[in-house]
């Protein structure tokens, strides 16, 4: 039987930061009506009634794939390599997945190019390159011999991701812009990964009219993600560094094209300030989202706990009652103590692996 438009699309999966998968599944279900099949470290497997480019609106996903196969039965032993080869060659309905791949990523002109990727986390009795070769063997006869392997910008990418005894293999639908974002033209060393910034916004769920404050905005990633969800919104950012404010301004520039003409150009203010003494009225901000510096030590004689003890009462002052704050920190205790002392309640908390470091993504309510 030939695959056609009337067929429902095959299962898909998205990849996100490990620890963000529950929130990413929530976003896929609520914004795209996805039926969630499996949630595992950094991966969400789901189905959609119809598949189109709407899928790239997901902000908590770094990449989206058509699922070729998945398992949680790897053995860590060399036998896995035979399984990878067999599953790759036999499991997928290749005709159907190619059909859907072309719907989203039309065939480029000229000779098609392809690229195989293998990611492997955890200790296994074989190397990543062995798994990659097993994948390539499984693909014999599926990828025409005339296709050219390339390292970058391939028309077709097939990824195998192994984490412990689970593996997913898929045909990549997204390109690098989903992960890196089109708006991001300026980077700072401490810039947040866009999906983590999006997760902070997802936690606070701002209404279109609600002002979102990032008092330590750096390159503006959190504010940009707030605009990214709705392509509009009221935001206010500040930082003590001019260089950060310049970077934030450049990154927010992308969203100007979506703004209604009648809105004045200063409605996205970025101000130089000390986040411990904000030039804002008491109870004037309903939503705050921020990742303050999170090193254990910011200088030899100043610990992060002291900074948080000075920040939180000031943020408490400017937040409305009730008010919401989404905060990303590495040292949970150092932030939780002053927050609880102000009467804030932690409503949601996620441990996320960010650039090899475990951090906490938290939602706080001020009563």
Ligand X SMILES: C[S@@+](CC[C@H](N)C(=O)[O-])C[C@H]1O[C@@H](n2cnc3c(N)ncnc32)[C@H](O)[C@@H]1O
Site residues (CB under 6 A) for ligand X? 188, 190-192, 216-219, 221-222, 239-241, 244, 274-276, 291-293
Minimum distance, C-beta of residue 98 to ligand X, in the bound complex (Å): 38
Minimum distance, C-beta of residue 24 to ligand X, in the bound complex (Å): 19
Minimum distance, C-beta of residue 215 to ligand X, in the bound complex (Å): 6
Residues 6+ apart with CB under 8 A from 1: none
Specify the residue, 66 or 217, whose C-beta has the smaller distance to ligand X: 217
Specify the residue, 46 or 183, whose C-beta has the smaller distance to ligand X: 183
Q: In angstroms, rounded to a whole number, what is the distance separating the alpha carbons of residues 323 and 319? A: 6
Minimum distance, C-beta of residue 179 to ligand X, in the bound complex (Å): 15
Pairing of strands 270-272, 12-15: unpaired
Specify the residue, 51 or 216, whose C-beta has the smaller distance to ligand X: 216
Minimum distance, C-beta of residue 196 to ligand X, in the bound complex (Å): 9
Residue in the shown chain whose Cβ atom is closest to ligand X: 218
Q: In angstroms, rounded to a whole number, what is the distance separating the alpha carbons of residues 215 and 273? A: 8
Pairing of strands 319-329, 285-290: parallel
Q: 24, 61 in Cβ contact below 8 A? A: yes
Cα atoms in the Cβ-side hemisphere of radius 13 Å centred on 11: 18
Give which of 315, 240, 292, 294 is closest to 270, Cα–Cα: 240
Q: In angstroms, rounded to a whole number, what is the distance separating the alpha carbons of residues 58 and 41? A: 18
Specify the residue, 106 or 279, whose C-beta has the smaller distance to ligand X: 279
Specify the residue, 69 or 364, whose C-beta has the smaller distance to ligand X: 364
Report CA-CA distances (Å) from 158 to 66, 117, 155, 209, 333. 10, 6, 10, 42, 42
Minimum distance, C-beta of residue 244 to ligand X, in the bound complex (Å): 4
Specify the residue, 143 or 188, whose C-beta has the smaller distance to ligand X: 188
């Amino acid at each position: 039987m030939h695959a056609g438009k009337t067929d429902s699309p095959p299962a898909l999966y998205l990849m996100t930061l490990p620890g963000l998968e529950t929130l990413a599944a929530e976003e896929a279900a609520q914004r795209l009506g996805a039926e969630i099949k499996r949630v595992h470290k950094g991966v969400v497997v789901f189905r959609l009634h119809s598949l189109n480019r709407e899928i790239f609106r997901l902000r908590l996903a770094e990449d989206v794939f058509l699922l070729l196969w998945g398992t949680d039965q790897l053995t860590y032993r060399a036998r896995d390599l035979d399984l990878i080869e067999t599953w790759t060659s036999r499991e997928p309905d290749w005709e159907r997945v190619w059909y859907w791949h072309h719907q989203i990523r039309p065939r480029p002109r000229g000779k098609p190019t392809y690229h195989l990727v293998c990611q492997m986390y955890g200790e296994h009795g074989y190397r990543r390159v062995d798994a990659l070769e097993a994948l390539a063997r499984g693909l014999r006869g599926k990828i025409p011999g005339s296709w050219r392997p390339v390292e970058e910008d391939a028309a077709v990418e097939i990824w195998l991701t192994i984490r412990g005894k689970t593996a997913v293999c898929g045909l990549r639908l997204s390109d690098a812009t989903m992960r890196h974002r089109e708006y991001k033209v300026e980077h700072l060393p401490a810039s947040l990964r866009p999906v983590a910034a999006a997760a902070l916004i997802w936690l606070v769920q701002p209404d279109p009219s609600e002002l979102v404050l990032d008092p330590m905005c750096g390159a503006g990633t959190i504010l940009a993600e707030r605009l990214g969800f709705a392509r509009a919104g009221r935001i206010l950012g500040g930082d003590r560094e001019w260089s950060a404010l310049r970077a934030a301004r450049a990154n927010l520039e992308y969203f100007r094209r979506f703004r209604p003409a009648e809105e004045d150009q200063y409605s996205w203010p970025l101000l130089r300030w000390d986040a411990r003494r904000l030039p804002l009225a008491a109870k004037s901000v309903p939503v705050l989202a921020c990742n303050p510096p999170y090193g254990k030590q910011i200088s030899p004689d100043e610990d992060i706990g002291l900074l948080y003890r000075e920040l939180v009462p000031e943020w408490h002052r400017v937040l409305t009652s009730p008010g919401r704050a989404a905060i990303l920190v590495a040292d949970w205790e150092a932030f939780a103590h002053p927050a609880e002392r102000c009467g804030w309640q932690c409503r949601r908390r996620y441990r996320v692996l960010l650039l090899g470091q475990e951090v906490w993504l938290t939602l706080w309510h001020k009563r």
